Amino acid sequence: MESSNGKPPQGKEEGKTAPEGSIGGYESLHRLLESNLSPELFKEASRLLLGLNCARPLEAISLPGATPALAEAHDFDVQAFRFNADKEQMRQPRIVRVGLVQNSIAVPTTCHFADQKKAIMEKVKLIVDAAGASGVNVLCLQEAWTMPFAFCTREKRWCEFAEPVDGESTQFLQDLAQKYNMVIVSPILERDINHGEIIWNTVVVIGNNGNIIGIHRKARNAAIANSYFVGSINRVGTEVFPNAFTSGDGKPQHADFGHFYGSSHFSAPDASCTPSLSRYRDGLMISDMDLNLCRQIKDKWAFRMTARYDMYANLLSEYLKPDFKPQVISDPLINKRKA
């Protein structure tokens, strides 16, 4: 696979310390392999690690000049790839350009909360501008993007970062969504003012007209072979907190949660993946996705055709009853034979 950003592969410069989170000075495993393997071996390694999209390696996308210029000026990684689908006779391709943003915090966690939030919004705006210049249709930000990942400390004062669905961060993004004709998916710590100010881990979906078109409150529900494109976003950098805390693993207390290694990427329904963004820099991953691939993979695997949802529903209903006993099939003569 060719280099996605048009620049020569990056490695550790002579006499310089490798950045925290790098792999021997390289921003990602993909770039390490690209720099150290022959073209033939690199092609095979990419096939094994990233898979093939419709039996072909992913294609890199050329972006408008404004995008790499913004990335270079503000030191964030940018990569872009295309997921294709097989050509159909009855449907035209349905291409959507989607972006992922990974970022570090912008100022120390000891700063005033309002200053921390403002600094993050200012740096994220530059990446949103790059996405807008690239014609991104749907842009996804990282979990709790307006704050440090302070949940690990278990200190309740960090709940001050929580805001209503139509709060400061949403208003900030509404203008950008309208400016760039772009849907923005904004995960925030929500304070539900209509229900006792309970706090939720919420995604606010902002339409391309700047309106709020919906919210989704997080539930852990990992899916295998779900026939959809998946964007995996991980924040980046090391966040050091004022007070030490423990992780409940018997190890000594510490003031950070470890290095967040970025590496955000897209996966397609056919299991092909993009390379990952940098392990230590902010980044923007862009992908053109042909949504026709979703139904093509559903048709190929036919999971829904053979599923028995009525059976699952009945079993779950029975399982929730206090007197439920699981079905266990065993031979009652086993123990007698041993005797």
Q: Residue-wise pLDDT tens for the chain (339 aa)? A: 444 444 444 545 456 789 999 999 999 999 999 999 999 999 999 999 999 999 999 999 999 999 999 999 999 999 999 999 999 999 999 999 999 999 999 999 999 999 999 999 999 999 999 999 999 999 999 999 999 999 999 999 999 999 999 999 999 999 999 999 999 999 999 999 999 999 999 999 999 999 999 999 987 655 656 789 999 999 999 999 999 999 888 889 999 999 999 999 999 999 999 999 999 999 999 999 999 999 999 999 888 888 888 998 999 999 999 999 988 888 878 777 665
Burial class (CB in 10 A: 0-12, 13-18, 19+), 226: middle
Distance of alpha carbon 281 from alpha carbon 261, whole angstroms: 9
Does residue 250 come out as left (phi exceeding 0), alpha (psi in the -120 to 50 range) or beta? Answer: left
pLDDT score, position 326: 87
CA distance between the termini of the chain: 65
Cβ-based neighbour number of residue 39 at 10 Å? 10
pLDDT score, position 134: 98
Q: DSSP strand E in 247-316: where?
A: 254-261, 265-267, 283-290
Between β-strands 254-261 and 236-245, what pairing exists: parallel, antiparallel or unpaired? antiparallel
Cα dihedral sign, 319-325-330-335: positive
H helix or E strand, kind and range, residue 215: strand 212-217
Give 305's strand partners.
Answer: none
Contact in structure between 285 and 264 (CB atoms under 8 Å): yes
The total number of residues shown for the chain amounts to 339
Distance of alpha carbon 33 from alpha carbon 22, whole angstroms: 13
Distance of alpha carbon 327 from alpha carbon 313, whole angstroms: 16
Question: Across the chain, which distance is largest between two alpha carbons, in Å?
Answer: 81
Helix pair 168-180, 113-133: axis angle to 10 deg: 10
Phi, psi at 82, each rounded to 5°: -120, 130
Return the amino acid letter for 70: L
pLDDT score, position 8: 42
Overall pTM > 0.75? yes
